[in-house]
Structure 1
């Protein structure tokens, strides 16, 4: 099985297969790639036409087709030979509690470190940022919640928003964050499906009806990317126009996925980093070890999108 994930995101695209090649034609030209080098094709194009021959040849090559609406995966087409990756699924379901705990600790360490990096941009000299630095280095079951409490205080104070509380249904600033997180979740789901991982089997988040715990788990270190885009959006606008989820805001916040950052010494956009993280997580599951899983931690001198 190959591990390249191809994203088709042009507004309009014609997809077919010729001589074992994926052929994608758009208004800007035609590109080809051998199907044997592809693990999955993610189609987020608003208007894509898919030739039946591509379905047939993709199935022969073991390539998954992931069709999205508003970037959210809504259909997963798998060839019969990939309907269940028995080894991966068994390993995933039977991971020991100790390995799950270590995977989750690495995830939270990265999330808290990234929150600290953002706090240093917002309020580098504040006592709250110093408190967050201490909290981010702690070894405690309450580490995530403790860091979040301090981080959101710094975030709201930087925007001069009084009485802010983080919650999915509390409105205002939360509406902007929720939209950005939904886009992030969709991106993580695309990669999970592409690598054959079941998003309903998480390492920390509880299983609920129609939920994707593993996607919620792995997206945690990337949340500050969305937070920073939202922060910049509000900082430059009046209170009246800042909190509406407009078309302009949607375009702005989704740009986080194209920001260039460092990951393991490579200069990648966030989408590429997510793919690398999911790839490593898959290897950790297969080998029942945490060493392959390397959550992204911000290390550059300049956060993407900053001036």
Structure 2
């Protein structure tokens, strides 16, 4: 079942009743708390985005959401995702799985990063060719094929420079968190993607903090940052659609955010089958654990349909 992504951008009171999220809006006098029209089963929720300073959420609801492995995202005053609340325990044999992850060898982690970078560059190349048919992508496919263990020659950076220089039909576009739009859309979309990946890692019994490549003492989601890399082009595709639609993307309007919140339901191709991105991520993290455990040597990553 595809889990719902819920976005709250107005004053609201969120509480729990009979394993249901109960929504009450101060300005919506017509909502009857007993009618059931304003309730959502907890088991149907995958991501909750809280984007207003006048949202009140009860501890009972937080506890229930977290225990059902729901990612709760809080936004700052500029409406950008800022915080992520995740469960400490998401798998019944978590200790055993932690042990496999923490004891994984350096050569294995380098091989897994090699697979990750190859998948990312390949997806970037396919998307770039699809939206900019006049741009040559043979070099990107060549770089993908040349990625060595651990990406020792940093083909990821070489491909990124070429990709970002051509993907948008915008003069002097530069990719950066503080750069001009549509970087605001990319930042928001990647934050949603990061939460989805972190949620699935926890469900697979893995530590999101311990990466296969990213290492930062201040980053609690290094592994999520690793595993989300091949999924980034799917976010880029959503951003391109927003730009092409003619919407004003200089600000994160509700309509723009509505499109970005569709990312979990975006179709991808994984293991030869079409699947919503959120479901595909769970297959990716499950395959990652199989690599740590020793029953597999390959991570299942998505790709674009031809």
Moved more, 68-77 or 266-275: 68-77
Alpha-carbon distance in 2 for matches of 1:237, 1:41: 31
Of the candidates 231, 239, 259, which is equivalent to residue 240 of structure 2? Answer: 231
Q: Tell me the alpha carbon deviations over residues 189-241 of structure 1, each in whole angstroms, 9 at most, x when there is no partner.
A: 11112222111100001223143100000000010011111112123327xx3
Alpha-carbon distance in 2 for matches of 1:32, 1:242: 32
Tell me, what secondary structure is at the counterpart of 1:178?
A: helix
Tell me, what secondary structure is at the counterpart of 1:69?
A: strand
Aligned pairs for 1:39-188 (under 5 A) are 42=46, 44=48, 65-66=69-70, 68-70=72-74, 73-76=84-87, 78=89, 85-127=94-136, 129-140=137-148, 141-156=153-168, 159=169, 161-188=170-197
TM-score (ref. length: structure 1):
0.74
Q: Which runs of 5+ in 2 are unaligned?
A: 9-13, 23-35, 51-55, 75-80
Residues 150 and 7 of structure 1, relative CA distance in 2, 3 Å threshold = same
Of the candidates 265, 274, 283, which is equivalent to residue 276 of structure 1? Answer: 283
Partner of 2:260: 253
| 1:15 shift after superposition | 5.7
**If each structure's helix is expressed as a fraction of its own residues, which one has the higher value?**
1
Residues 261 and 289 of structure 1, relative CA distance in 2, 3 Å threshold = closer
Residues 261 and 138 of structure 1, relative CA distance in 2, 3 Å threshold = same
Residues 123 and 65 of structure 1, relative CA distance in 2, 3 Å threshold = closer
Tell me, what secondary structure is at the counterpart of 1:44?
A: strand
Confirm whether residue 211 of structure 1 aligns to residue 215 of structure 2: no
Confirm whether residue 286 of structure 1 aligns to residue 261 of structure 2: no
Alpha-carbon distance in 2 for matches of 1:244, 1:285: 42
| 1:6 shift after superposition | 6.3
Alpha-carbon distance in 2 for matches of 1:50, 1:276: 31
| 1:105 shift after superposition | 0.8
Q: Tell me the alpha carbon deviations over residues 78-122 of structure 1, each in whole angstroms, 9 at most, x when there is no partner.
A: 49x95x822211211121111001111111111011001101112
Alpha-carbon distance in 1 for matches of 2:3, 2:57: 14
Tell me, what secondary structure is at the counterpart of 1:261?
A: strand
| 1:162 shift after superposition | 1.7
Tell me, what secondary structure is at the counterpart of 2:85?
A: strand
RMSD: 3.5
| 1:180 shift after superposition | 0.8
| 1:27 shift after superposition | 2.7
Alpha-carbon distance in 2 for matches of 1:226, 1:16: 35
Residues 85 and 29 of structure 1, relative CA distance in 2, 3 Å threshold = closer
Residues 193 and 32 of structure 1, relative CA distance in 2, 3 Å threshold = closer
Residues 123 and 75 of structure 1, relative CA distance in 2, 3 Å threshold = closer
Tell me, what secondary structure is at the counterpart of 1:116?
A: helix
Confirm whether residue 263 of structure 1 aligns to residue 270 of structure 2: yes
CA contact (8 A) 1:41 1:194 kept: no
Tell me, what secondary structure is at the counterpart of 2:268?
A: strand
| 1:50 shift after superposition | 8.5
Alpha-carbon distance in 1 for matches of 2:193, 2:71: 17
Alpha-carbon distance in 2 for matches of 1:43, 1:162: 35
Moved more, 180-189 or 281-290: 281-290
